[in-house]
Amino acid sequence: MANFIPIRQYNSNQIILTSDRLIFNSKVDNIILSSNNDVSMNMNGAFHINIGPSGNQTAAKNFFVINAPKIQMGTGNVEPLPKGDTLGNLLTSLMNALNDLATSLSTATGIGVGTVGEPTVNAAGVKLQGQIANIQNQIVNINSKVSFTA
């Protein structure tokens, strides 16, 4: 909000409504806020957006859309959110590659008379296989059932 000028510092025409409570209610159509620059909302308490069935609305209409080239939640050191399916597919590929390595390690044999297993290497492979199975079971729950990004 680089262009925002606080109410008391603004030196052009403005409308200030002051009351104990303000309610804007549209009985038939929409409420539209439009601005050439920013829309700013400030509060000392919580901010609520309630979307849900009311009257004859269907559940298919109950969604929240933010149409913006960049969305930032929070301040400070923000990080990008991963795309769930993309991250899940990448982690699955990584786990499959590690599992191939673990399988090779767990069945490794030494060189010499006959085939002799290498106990330390075999144990490491078996342990890695268990850890991979645990991670793979968690990957299926990585995607949110509520929050989506494109």
User: Which pTM does this prediction carry?
Assistant: 0.57
Q: Where are the domains of the chain?
A: 84-139
102 burial type by CB count under 10 A (0-12 exposed, 13-18 middle, 19+ buried): buried
Residues written for the chain? 150
pLDDT tens figures, 48-105: 998 876 665 566 677 888 888 888 888 888 788 888 888 888 899 999 998 888 888 8
SS3 per residue for the chain: CCCCCCHHHCCCCCCCCCCCCCCCCCCCCCCCCCCCCCCCCCCCCCCCCCCCCCCCCCHHHCCCCCCCCCCCCCCCCCCCCCCHHHHHHHHHHHHHHHHHHHHHHHCCEECCCCCEECHHHHHHHHHHHHHHHHHHHHHCCCCCCCCCCC
**pLDDT averaged over the chain?**
83
